Structure 1
């Protein structure tokens, strides 16, 4: 499979056997010197190409083969020798320009850090090259612009100034912005998460209809991987977990929580039994299928969101919480100081 630009159009070639190849191109010419978003997908023999907001182009590969066999590594921007490229691919020069972001199956590719090798690759002219976020933040390019991803305690747009905390019972209350998170990997937290039983009690407020509030899972998630999550979907709070024999989803339809007011949630897992209650409402319960009783996760505990949330949650959530969380207690007696006890975090504000 190959993708390239020729005569100001984006071209793609897809070969599903040694003799069968199809090609397709963008419906219109792309402008030079501007950023463009290219989306490619393949399901079986159907391939779809989208550029920016232009109409999608699709083609059906002839023949009966539906699986790609790709023995070579992935190359970005060019190849060491064009003899390794199919002669049916007409282009014979490397790409000249900038590639800012590559996402494969919802997993962002570390273009430079993850490369096995490369030749003549330089920084593209961009504000991030000047390190505008300083030592305390990470510059995230967004076409010609950028945002700063700041560590906990820094509240200004370029991660330079400490934020003044707002206190609730002398404990700083973090505010999450949808791309924020706090992470905990200390032994006291882990032994409570990876266990046969878990009691989660916390307060939150939000006006958002969707967002991940709490997560613990596996580093390489599959459909049968263990995980435990609290999150909002279409304004409904869900308590979800999988012990390896099937997923449990407990939606709390008894009361709305996206009203900007403080609510208290209590989620309990006792081996295969799960229960969820919000404020003083009724307790909803469900039981996990199968015979497995222990939660076995290895990512630690995330609060308010996490990195690569769409991929890491297997599309269960697209973003983190927009709102505030406080008073997190695990197993009735372990009070988590959200900001102070975190081992990592990003874009944490203070709740007002």
Structure 2
């Protein structure tokens, strides 16, 4: 007997597959991470992330304009200072590169997109850690919280609408929320990098921010083998008042992402990190994969696992491609 149940009926054509798709990518679900560097006269290429650059203020503005035109949901800014010290003084300097870039872009585009900022010390410290160090060389959690509180206020005053707390210090969301509220910034939202793992996928990012790190961050970022701990961290951030929680990296931690998405009553994001980007670009450059298909498939998988939004270096490119496809369908050009 021939089968009566035939799932292939719903795969028979491109219009049918589109009609029954369970997961779709919309440009507004994408956030573009951007690096803005001090002292540059023109953008500087990041060799381990082909196609990505450290921006000047002017080139950053052009990229934000492009992102807005493509319908991208927002941009996440990282600062790359010329000078660093033990406590990351540049992170709270109103004229430091991250705060200056935030102000520059927020004044121009704050009504058209969501200007977001990375709230962490690693780009600004001469030792490269995400916090200040104790006398024994360990990262001092509670002293770091005081620096994060000052950073939160500085970034909010510069015009950041969403603070991405990526340092993985215990109590960081609660401490920053209290500082913001006390300083009159109750409307500034907090994104908790809740389940951030000590991953080998961050290598290219360290070039992107000129990291000074020696050693590792395993005493504060999570062990890649721990799934339940990722959910526990997210629940703690929710209890502390996070407006959004995030899993980082994305592709190798889809189980953790699904756990967090099932438990969270606020939006859940995921960060498709530099190593994920670099691996695809390297394989595509060698002709081993279909680059465009894999970009879309990788982001689809992250959304399918439960993410509401994805931080990805392909945000603008993919959004523009989606726009073009939608326009072609509307014109009857493609299925």
Q: What range is the shorter-chain TM-score in? A: under 0.3
Bigger helix fraction: 2
Rg larger for = 1
After TM superposition, the score normalised by the length of structure 2 is 0.24
| TM-score, normalised with respect to structure 1 | 0.23
